[in-house]
Amino acid sequence: MEKFYITTAIDYVNGAPHIGHAYEKILTDVIYRHFTQRCKNTYFLTGTDEHGIKIQKTSTEKEMSPKEFCDMNAQKFKEAWKALDIEYSQFIRTTDEQHEKAVQKIFKKLMDNGDIYKHSYKGLYCSGCESFLSEKDLTEDGLCPNHMKKPEIVEEENYFFKLTKYKDAIIKHIKTHPDFIIPSFRANEVLNQLENIEDISVSRARSNVSWGIPVLGDDSQVIYVWIDALSNYITALGYDSENCDNKFKQFWPANVQVIGKDILKFHSIYWIAELMALNLPLPEHILAHGWITIDQTKMSKSLGNVISPTSVLEAFNLDIPDPLRYYMASAAPCGKDGNYSDEDFKEKVNAHLANSMGNLLNRTLSMLVKYFDGDIKPEFLGKNTLKEQSLETIKAVKHHFDYMEVQEAALKINELVDLTNKYVTDNAPWTLAKEGQMEKCGEVLTNVLQVMTVIASLIYPYCPNIASSMAEQLTYDLNTKLDDITCESLKAGHLIDKENIKPVFLRVDSELADKKKN
């Protein structure tokens, strides 16, 4: 692959980040880190959506200016992603001057091309969605299905985008590119939504919404979310910017755009129509992930079950975010809903990261020191019966990531860990040492450690800190590209001393972990 560009949805800063936001960012970061192991040029964009009526109202209630309010909450998102080791390349804010200027140019270009026109409109507006809804979008009780509130009737003269002009082209693209929308079963939802699509409002009257980007040449209007927020994916790269560098030419179109299933319509229809109108290439894939429930219940402020990602780290006194990253990234099959619970979190990370993977490395290195003073002798090399399974696992993991199947890839890594644990049990190196079969014992231990270098590379996107600790103890270069892994990286010579053997992850409820925290 020559390049890899991945984006997340930009988060609305009307509140603090919660675990649903974290799920998307972790999922995206894991995908991004995996593809950094496969190609040289990679770029990961995330950020915040900062205009609109909700920001305007909330900031007024808090006696702050909209910009001050946005600055405060945008910083909370940045701090949360730092705590979770989200390794983004750029954090865009829609209040960035470059973005605002580029959006104005995009709006004018669409207007000059005849894709935007002014029109008086009376419709049902949901302030929660920041979207106009039709009668068919509402529940039987006339409520917005997402916010369960009755939309208000709004009558304005706004600018409209000719979405209907691109209806047939969008349908054709979806049907001729079956992997455009991931998972593929979501494509039918989008095709059904396209059946009755209408032109969309892309501005609001400044008299009603003052916190927005002004329309060039018409100070009575501000640019609405569909042109403002959605354009961030290209403005971040310098599209239509006076200070444009080569990022746009280098990275657009996006390889993957990661979003929640609730905003798929806007990305697979509105955004695609805008790109078509601008005569720009379309993204390769749109990944619509599911939601994260809390103890099998949908998150809700009224239920009081909205939790922040950093609160999980604090509750379990975790000094690295790897356990939460691993748990969230493997929480659900591709595109399906997942669930978080404290008990399941503790059980899964203890079983997978401490008991299976971490303990496998720790006891193998300990036996190497006990029986061979930490040395790998030449006669131990070249007979790795696990090599084929290890290389096949790399292929399988790459295949799953090609289809954004992050949980499924994690399961493949676990299978290799389990297979290697079984290999240790079946060959019992402690028994071989007791019987004096030292060459065979050393061969078994070396085979396991060779596999552990592969596991370190594969688990790195999920658990970068744990992988780094594994690689350090194995003197393995974690920058090795997946295509260059041979499962023969360890060479004859001294590998490790007893004092350098450390658990890569302590069980959440272990006494050692508690002492480490205190």
Domains in the chain, start-ordered, CATH in brackets? 3-294 (3.40.50.620), 342-517 (1.10.730.10)
pLDDT of residue 45 exceeding 60, the answer is: yes
User: Which one of the listed residues 34, 51, 70, 144 is annotated catalytic?
Assistant: 144
SS in 3 state form for 161-220?
ECHHHHHHHHHHHHHHCCCCEECCCHHHHHHHHHHCCCCEECEEECCCCCCCEEECCEEE
pLDDT for the residue 90: 98
> Is 149 among the catalytic positions?
no
More confident residue, 267 or 145: 267
More confident residue, 240 or 429: 429
Average pLDDT, the chain: 93
> Is 126 among the catalytic positions?
yes
pLDDT for the residue 516: 46
pLDDT for the residue 257: 98
Q: What is the pTM of this model?
A: 0.93
Q: Using 50, 70 and 90 to split pLDDT, how confident is the model at 513?
A: very low
pLDDT for the residue 512: 42
Q: Using 50, 70 and 90 to split pLDDT, how confident is the model at 205?
A: very high
CA nearest neighbour of 47 among 78, 17, 5, 4: 78
pLDDT for the residue 303: 58
User: Taking residues 114-141, what's their average pLDDT?
Assistant: 81
User: Which one of the listed residues 67, 122, 147, 395 is annotated catalytic?
Assistant: 147
User: Which one of the listed residues 126, 441, 463, 487 is annotated catalytic?
Assistant: 126
pLDDT for the residue 517: 41
User: Which one of the listed residues 21, 51, 285, 412 is annotated catalytic?
Assistant: 21
For residue range 436-483, what is the model confidence (pLDDT) as tens digits?
999 999 999 999 999 999 999 999 999 999 999 999 999 999 999 999
User: Which one of the listed residues 70, 129, 334, 441 is annotated catalytic?
Assistant: 129
User: Which one of the listed residues 82, 172, 298, 516 is annotated catalytic?
Assistant: 298
User: Which one of the listed residues 18, 78, 267, 412 is annotated catalytic?
Assistant: 18
pLDDT of residue 388 exceeding 50, the answer is: yes
> Is 21 among the catalytic positions?
yes
Ranking 129-133, 202-206, 312-316, 362-366 by mean pLDDT, the lowest is 129-133
- Exposed e or buried b for every residue in 174-210, given b needs 16+ CB within 10 A? beeeeebbbbeebbeebbeebeebebbbbbbebeebe
> Is 18 among the catalytic positions?
yes
> Is 244 among the catalytic positions?
no
pLDDT for the residue 228: 97
Placement of tokens 């590379």 in the chain:
457
Q: Using 50, 70 and 90 to split pLDDT, how confident is the model at 147?
A: confident
Distance in angstroms (rounded) separating the CA atoms of residues 177 and 471? 40
User: Taking residues 252-276, what's their average pLDDT?
Assistant: 97
> Is 173 among the catalytic positions?
no
pLDDT of residue 506 exceeding 60, the answer is: yes
- CB within 8 Å of 2: residues ≥ 6 apart: 39, 41
On whether the CB atoms of residues 209 and 222 are closer than 8 A, the answer is yes
pLDDT for the residue 136: 75
pLDDT for the residue 515: 42
pLDDT for the residue 518: 38
On whether the CB atoms of residues 45 and 297 are closer than 8 A, the answer is no
For residue range 5-27, what is the model confidence (pLDDT) as tens digits?
999 999 999 999 999 999 999 99
